């Protein structure tokens, strides 16, 4: 098994551990247990960051695709935000003094 495969398998293991901790947190009613489990879960998230760094460091092609994916996501989010802003602006244009500009007859 290649180094990158081992690292990716470990990332999967960390994600599985996070899910297990989240389930245990949801099932517990003891505040002390919940706080300790949250702390452990949060450390697993740090482990994912460390493993992702290693994966991107040893696999430049993966790093390039990762960056491309981040840029695509940023563009999609910007498009959604632009559309939401246009929708809000359009809704504001439909009202004058809190009264609809267009009367809808039924």
- What is the pTM for the complete model shown? 0.70
So what's the pLDDT on residue 88?
80
More confident residue, 100 or 13: 13
Rounded to 10°, the helix 31-58/3-27 angle is 160
Which of 44, 68, 66 has the alpha carbon at shortest distance from 53?
66
**104 band by pLDDT with thresholds 50, 70 and 90:** very low
Give the tens place of pLDDT for each residue, 64-102.
999 999 999 999 999 999 998 888 877 666 655 555 555
- Rounded Cα distance between 80 and 23, Å, is 32
């Amino acid at each position: 098994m290649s180094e990158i495969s081992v690292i990716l398998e470990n990332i999967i293991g960390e994600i599985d551990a996070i899910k297990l901790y989240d389930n245990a947190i949801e099932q517990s009613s003891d505040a002390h247990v919940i706080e300790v489990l949250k702390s452990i879960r949060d450390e697993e998230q740090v482990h994912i960051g460390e493993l992702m760094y290693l994966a991107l460091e040893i696999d430049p092609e993966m790093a390039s695709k990762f960056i491309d994916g981040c840029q695509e996501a940023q563009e999609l989010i910007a498009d959604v935000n632009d559309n939401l802003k246009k929708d809000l602006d359009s809704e504001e244009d439909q009202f004058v003094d809190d009264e609809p500009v267009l009367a809808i007859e039924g």
